[in-house]
Structure 1
């Protein structure tokens, strides 16, 4: 269950249980009756390797916290390999509109190939090229825009202000922006945000609020207190990248994927 932390409260850290894959499937099956989101997470069309990462990414709880639901117009910014696309596509198929917004290039081509490979599942997905002058998604038409582990790339590339402005423009008044990213402790040197893959909560809040968003709150559902966020090779030291290869691999696998902030913002009415 998500914990909503209002802006005046400090973020707490929860130790989250790590379940074997069979238990995850059983849990999904046990909760999907009458729950479209749980049913989408349990969809047999999902890639088994992606299902195995549910224990780190908590898709049901994360998407519920952001308020994603059938009937909405939803944008996923930079889906890359389509981990969340595998869930959002069946959730919104025939009841809603789903845009997968990806920058032109190899990532776009790879995602297109994935969507084209299964038209029964992905035929309704609107794959659109995302640029900083995006025009293919109508302004003020989107209920919820979500982005997962992408803001650190914007910060490293210096595109965060323009990208968040574009987020603001496509959302309806009252629409939701949901952000998940790797969390850097507030006391660390901010220079690390340009190289480590980790960002401070305060940094993302500043970016979003400068673009005009109101901060709604945070969930600790994707927290991982085992991650010290001080790795020589940045967040990519941890799974799934495991940049050190076989060196200390068991250690990093035991830590799991990164400690992540899960932040919710709102475009004012």
Structure 2
């Protein structure tokens, strides 16, 4: 367990249990005089999170990543391609009942038999999650502006399509001052050449594409860096933890 987990375990164990138990609704409790670090830790420690997600925490560092992304209580989040919902659960409990998470599932998942079963189960269990099936980001419209657009480990797939439209949509969907958070598998110096072959992307290419849409790069994080990764295999084939980057962009006010 990370040191911060140990530091918060005693004080937050009861909060996490109250926020979400296996037999009751996992809607976050109403905390009083608690800063964001404790909200985030309560979400990470929630006993409603499945064991397979918890097993990935050491490699994904969710507490630190959600903190870096500046997620706030009450935020409205648009999560692009949430997959199995690893971050959906954490974001849902971090933003709380005052917030909202729109889980934007690509249509090709929805068209598979049972393709939406997992994310629909999360939405049913977590009252502030809404599943939205996405045909394309150039025509996607959400019922309200969002505070955060979030994408992890799939920007390289977006780059294989009309990523300019995706980034333009993100810019338009966000409130002024809103955040666009991108985390993905790194392939430094490759531009866009590894997006469909190695399922990685050059962080410099992401910076160029997203800032071209009007965003300002606010911060970069090396939390998920792994210099031992040779960057010559797909993350699924690499026999270790892949080298990843995290970028926080902001829409100007």
Unaligned runs of 5+ in 2: 16-33
> 1:105 is matched with which residue?
108
CA deviations over 1:197-242 (Å, ceiling 9, x no partner): 12111100111011111111201111112211112xx22213xxxx
CA–CA distance in structure 2, aligned partners of residues 111 and 94 of structure 1: 26
Q: Work out which of the residue numbers 118, 121, 126 in structure 2 matches 1:122.
A: 126
Aligned pairs (5 A) from 1:17-56: 26=6, 29-30=9-10, 32=12, 34=34, 35-56=38-59
Conservation of the 8 A alpha-carbon contact between 1:81 and 1:111: no
Q: Distance in 1 between matches of 2:8 and 2:198?
A: 34
Greater mean deviation of Cα atoms: 125-134 or 40-49: 125-134
Contact 2:218 2:249 in 1 (8 A): yes
2:158 is equivalent to residue 151 of structure 1: no
Give, in angstroms, the shift of residue 41 of structure 1: 0.7
Residues 56-104 of structure 1: per-residue CA shift (max 9 Å, x gap) = 1111111111110211111111101111012112223412121111112
Looking at structure 2, the residues matched to 189 and 136 of structure 1 have their Cα atoms a distance apart, in angstroms, of 30
**Structure 1 vs Structure 2 CA RMSD:** 2.5
**Aligned equivalents of 2:45 and 2:93: distance in 1?**
10
The answer for the alignment partner of 2:28 in structure 1 is none
1:219 and 2:241 correspond? no
Question: Deviation at 1:116?
Answer: 4.2
Q: 1:196 aligns with which of 195, 198, 212?
A: 198
Distance 1:176 1:103, change over 3 A: same
Offset at residue 136 of structure 1 (A): 3.5
* Highest RCO, 1 vs 2 (Cα 8 Å, sep ≥ 6): 1
How many residues in Structure 1 have an aligned counterpart in Structure 2? 228
Matched, 1:175 2:159: no
The question of whether the paired residues in 1 share the 8 Å contact of 2:123 and 2:131 is answered with: no
Counterpart Cα distance in 1 of 2:177 and 2:244: 25
Ranges of 4+ aligned residues in structure 1 off by more than 3 Å? 23-28, 30-34, 107-112, 115-121, 133-136
